[in-house]
A and B are shown apart, each in its own frame.
Chain A
Amino acid sequence: MRDEQLSPEQSLQLIQSMINKTRQDMSDDAIYFLVWGWITFIGCTGQFILKNLVHVEQHYLVWWLVPVGIVFTIWQGRKERKNQKVSTYVGESMKHLWIGMGISFFVLSMILTKLGWGSPVYPFFIMMYGLGTFISGNFLRFRPLVIGGVLAWALAIGSVFVPYDYQILFAAAAILISYIIPAYLLRQRNKSVHS
Chain B
Amino acid sequence: MFKDLDPILHSQLRLAVMSLLISVKEAEFTFIREKTNSTAGNLSVQIQKLKDAGYIDVTKQFKDNYPQTICKITREGVAAFENYVISLQSYLKKD
Residues of chain A whose beta carbon lies under 8 Å from any beta carbon of chain B? 1-6, 8-9, 11-12, 14-15, 18-19, 21-23, 25, 82, 85-89, 91-92
Question: Is the pair B12, A23 in contact by a Cβ cutoff of 8 Å?
Answer: no
Given A8-B91, A14-B19, the answer on whether A86 and B26 have CB atoms closer than 8 Å is yes
Residue in chain B with minimal CB distance to A89: B25
From residue A172, how far is it (CB to closest CB) to chain B in Å?
A: 36
Residue in chain B with minimal CB distance to A19: B23
Q: With A and B bound together, what is the CA distance between A4 and B5 in angstroms?
A: 14
Cross-interface CB contact of B88 among A3, A12, A25, A91, cutoff 8 Å: A12
| A-B CB contact pairs (8 Å), 29 listed | A1-B12, A1-B13, A1-B36, A1-B37, A2-B13, A3-B13, A4-B11, A5-B11, A6-B11, A8-B2, A8-B92, A8-B95, A9-B92, A11-B10, A12-B88, A15-B15, A18-B19, A18-B36, A19-B19, A19-B22, A21-B35, A82-B64, A85-B28, A85-B30, A86-B28, A86-B31, A87-B25, A87-B26, A92-B25
Cross-interface CB contact of A5 among B10, B22, B88, cutoff 8 Å: B10
Question: Is the pair A18, B92 in contact by a Cβ cutoff of 8 Å?
Answer: no
Question: Is the pair A18, B88 in contact by a Cβ cutoff of 8 Å?
Answer: no
From residue B92, how far is it (CB to closest CB) to chain A in Å?
A: 5
Does B44 belong to the interface (CB within 8 Å)? no
Q: Which residues of B contact A12 (CB under 8 A)?
A: 85, 88, 92
Q: With A and B bound together, what is the CA distance between A80 and B15 in angstroms?
A: 29
Question: Is the pair B12, A14 in contact by a Cβ cutoff of 8 Å?
Answer: yes
Given A86-B24, A87-B27, 14 additional A-B pairs, CB 8 A: A1-B16, A1-B37, A3-B42, A3-B46, A6-B11, A11-B15, A12-B85, A15-B15, A18-B16, A18-B35, A21-B35, A86-B26, A86-B28, A87-B26
Residue in chain A with minimal CB distance to B19: A18
Given A1-B37, A15-B85, A86-B31, the answer on whether A6 and B12 have CB atoms closer than 8 Å is yes
From residue A27, how far is it (CB to closest CB) to chain B in Å?
A: 12
Q: Which residues of A contact B16 (CB under 8 A)?
A: 1, 14, 18
From residue A192, how far is it (CB to closest CB) to chain B in Å?
A: 20
Q: With A and B bound together, what is the CA distance between A18 and B37 in angstroms?
A: 11
Question: Is the pair A85, B31 in contact by a Cβ cutoff of 8 Å?
Answer: yes
Question: Is the pair A6, B15 in contact by a Cβ cutoff of 8 Å?
Answer: yes
